[in-house]
């Protein structure tokens, strides 16, 4: 009889713990991970991952990650971008990117960018602007571009644009 009572008590405690865990998960919102470079939330559409000799670095977007890689040469072994369409990680080097579209995934809302007939213009320096969104195929990037503007680039073209931006930011920010 004591064994039966013990089993009922254990089952009741397990049920209480299970219900408590479910209630906690539904009551406490999950916070998205933060970019290890700029401390912004990492959007599911634009997350970027870099492997180093000492571990993994997560970034909010390809542009933020590329700025970091440019300023820390030789540190990175491999990089993955989030494919906008599938939300899966793909090789950053094989991805195509839309640069300068009108959706800003990891930048705060405000007046730092404005849409003009010739494209998006950045009025205030932000390491994550203009937006750089990754795609597994050129066709998917072109479809996105038709809807949101910008221009379609290969990884090397995107890298060079970020490199030029980094050099320009250093020049304008130096004393």
For the question of whether the overall pTM of this predicted structure is more than 0.85, the answer is no
Same domain, 95 and 20: no
Query: Residue 52 belongs to what domain range?
Result: 48-173
Cβ-based neighbours of 88, under 8 Å, separated by 6 or more: 82
Same domain, 66 and 3: no
Is 40 a member of any domain?
Answer: no
Is 35 a member of any domain?
Answer: no
Q: How many domains, the chain?
A: 2
Is 167 a member of any domain?
Answer: yes
The number of helix segments (H) and strand segments (E) in the chain equals: 4, 9
Paired sense of beta strands 76-82 and 89-91, if any:
antiparallel
Same domain, 15 and 89: no
- Of 74-88, 144-158, 161-175, the least confident: 161-175
Burial of 48 by CB count in 10 Å (0-12 exposed, 13-18 middle, 19+ buried)? Answer: buried
Is 132 a member of any domain?
Answer: yes
Q: Which residues pair with 51 in a beta bridge?
A: 56, 78
Nearest-10 crossing angle of helices 62-71, 155-173: 70
In the chain, which ranges are E strands?
48-52, 55-59, 76-82, 89-91, 96-99, 113-116, 119-122, 132-135, 151-154
Same domain, 108 and 158: yes
Same domain, 17 and 58: no
Is 95 a member of any domain?
Answer: yes
Nearest residue to 123 via CA among 142, 136, 110: 110
The most confident of the ranges 34-43, 110-119, 134-143 is 134-143
Structure tokens at 140: 């998917």
Same domain, 60 and 139: yes
Same domain, 24 and 99: no
- Of 30-34, 61-65, 74-78, 155-159, the least confident: 30-34
- With cut-offs at 50, 70 and 90, classify the pLDDT of residue 175: very low
- Coil vs helix vs strand at 145: helix
Question: In whole angstroms, what is the distance from residue 55 CA to residue 23 CA?
Answer: 34
């Amino acid at each position: 009889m004591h064994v039966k009572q013990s089993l009922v008590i254990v089952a009741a405690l397990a049920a209480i713990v299970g219900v408590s865990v479910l209630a906690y998960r539904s009551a406490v919102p999950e916070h998205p991970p933060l970019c290890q470079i700029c401390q912004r939330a990492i959007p599911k559409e634009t997350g970027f991952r870099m492997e180093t000799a000492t571990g993994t670095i997560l970034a909010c977007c390809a542009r933020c990650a590329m700025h970091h890689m440019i300023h820390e040469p030789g540190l990175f072994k491999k990089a993955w971008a989030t494919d906008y369409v599938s939300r899966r990680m793909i090789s950053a080097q094989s991805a195509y990117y839309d640069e300068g579209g009108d959706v800003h995934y990891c930048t705060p809302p405000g007046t730092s960018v404005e849409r003009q007939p010739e494209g998006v213009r950045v009025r205030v320096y932000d390491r994550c602007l203009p937006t750089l969104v990754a795609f597994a195929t050129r066709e998917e990037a072109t479809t996105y571009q038709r809807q949101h503007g910008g221009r379609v680039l290969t990884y090397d073209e995107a890298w060079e644009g970020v490199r030029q931006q980094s050099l320009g930011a250093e020049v304008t920010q130096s004393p």
